[in-house]
Amino acid sequence: MMRKTIIFACLLSSAFFIACGEAPKTSKPDMESMIEENFRHAAAQYKILASKIPTDRMPKYYDPRKDSMVTSDTKWWCSGFYPGTLWYIYEQTRDEAIRKEAEARLALLEPEKHFTGNHDLGFMIFCSFGNAYRITGNPLYKPTIDTAAISLATRYRPEIKSIQSWDKNKHFNCPVIIDNMMNLELLHWVSDQGGDSRFRDIAVSHANSTLERHYRPDNSSWHVLDYDLTTGQVIGKRTWQGAADSSAWARGQSWGLYGFTLMYRMTKDDRYLQQAQKIADFILSHPRLPEDMVPYWDFDSPDIPNTYRDASAAAINASALLELAQFSDNELKARYLNAAEKMLITLSSDAYRAKEGENGGFILMHSLGALPFNGEVDVPLTYADYYFLEALKRYKDWYLK
């Protein structure tokens, strides 16, 4: 019988800025029913979204102020999230129209297994083909994943024991960003599934260098470390999407939380578990984390509370915390589970989840891509939907049995 706990969620009305104040508290809904309803809603929304996307493009975001859909080619770092989300929906609904769309998008994305232009092969290929292979067992999907690992490994730089995120440019010499932790699963998984053990070694090396260099004493992370490949030394600690070099960009903290949790799952190295728990404590104990658990886009934004929230960070946090709870003792497990429940309830509310037929077909509203560049500000984003549905699936699989 499903475990019944009572928590409270601060469910706020949707607004251009969402700030959590004295809102009525609401009892936790039946989680099983809520999850089932969310996947039904997701199927309806993604059929609408599919109808708006050209067959040779991927959805990037929808601008509600202009009522316009923005798309990307398959080299955009988010190109794997749309087919990955379709596979999550199919897994729960067995809707054949959703599966057909997922398969068509995989065919479009498949050539990117050879992409070596940046570090994002994990997002692009493992979130899409990885889920397709897990759900269907189709052996034709595995070579694409294996080839993507080969491509990603070309960006490993032994001089810094890390995977170079972006190529050298006018801003950075050899940048390594915290987001890169999310791409290590691809490498480790391919090694574990019979691939070259070198991929696992690269993943571990990168995780270790990130653990050593990327975190501050308060367990927040810098967004970008810039390296000198000649000396192997860090020459800059910067941000690209955060409020300042010294700030804690919210989604960056989420990437680290998720990344070290998955590395513990794959290695059982206690250092990774401890780091994930430290990051979780930074997030959950932060005095500027709103009561409804959806963070402001940067924990150090000077405009708090009159600034943007990032639903994508909350979705990533929820998914990561549900897994971290699996590896933690009873007290921490309860803390992480309760926080993740609250995040999912908030994201399922009218404050963040779009009504059917609205939001361009996306599920969640109020995410933020890169405020310093006025990019993807207060819009629905593909990775917010992806990690939201992943978190719902994880809750169903792990906590409703």
Q: Strand, coil or helix: what is 335?
A: helix
Model confidence, pTM: 0.93
Residue 120 annotated among the catalytic residues of the structure: yes
Cα 253 to chain centroid, rounded: 11
Structural contact between residues 354 and 296, judged by C-beta atoms closer than 8 angstroms: no
83: left (phi > 0), else alpha (psi -120 to 50), else beta? alpha
Residue type present at position 354: A
Q: 202 is in which domain, residue-wise?
A: 29-399
Q: Which one has a higher pLDDT value, 11 or 170?
A: 170
Active-site residue, from 56, 95, 167, 179: 179
**Residue 393 forms part of a structural domain:** yes
Instruction: In whole angstroms, give the CA distance from residue 161 to residue 38.
Output: 42
Burial 256-285 (b: 16+ CB within 10 A, else e): bbbbbbbbbbbbebeebbebbbbbbebbbe
Structural contact between residues 224 and 239, judged by C-beta atoms closer than 8 angstroms: yes
- 300-313 pLDDT, tens per residue? 999 999 999 999 99
What's the pLDDT at 27? 60
Active-site residue, from 56, 63, 95, 120: 120
Q: Is the pLDDT of residue 246 over 90?
A: yes
**Residue 17 forms part of a structural domain:** no
- 52-67 pLDDT, tens per residue? 999 999 999 999 999 9
Closest CA to 381 of 251, 246, 253: 251
Q: Which residue has the tokens 């250092």?
A: 271
**Residue 18 forms part of a structural domain:** no
**Residue 58 forms part of a structural domain:** yes
**Residue 16 forms part of a structural domain:** no
Q: What is the DSSP string of 93-158?
A: H--HHHHHHHHHHHHHHGGGGG--SSSTHIIIIIIIIIHHHHHH--TTSHHHHHHHHHHHHTTEET
CATH number where 110 lies:
1.50.10.10
**Residue 8 forms part of a structural domain:** no
Cβ-proximal residues to 183 (8 Å cutoff; 6+ apart), any chain: 119, 120, 121, 122, 123, 126, 152, 163
Q: How many domains does the chain have?
A: 1
Residue 226 annotated among the catalytic residues of the structure: no
What's the pLDDT at 200? 98
How does the average pLDDT of the chain come out, rounded?
Answer: 94
Query: Mutual orientation of helices 250-267 and 197-213 as an angle, nearest 10°?
Result: 130
**Residue 102 forms part of a structural domain:** yes
**Residue 364 forms part of a structural domain:** yes
Tell me the average pLDDT across 107-114.
98
Tell me the average pLDDT across 43-49.
98
Q: Which one has a higher pLDDT value, 247 or 11?
A: 247
- 197-232 pLDDT, tens per residue? 999 999 999 999 999 999 999 999 999 999 999 999
Structural contact between residues 387 and 316, judged by C-beta atoms closer than 8 angstroms: yes
Q: Is the pLDDT of residue 29 over 90?
A: no
Residue type present at position 103: E
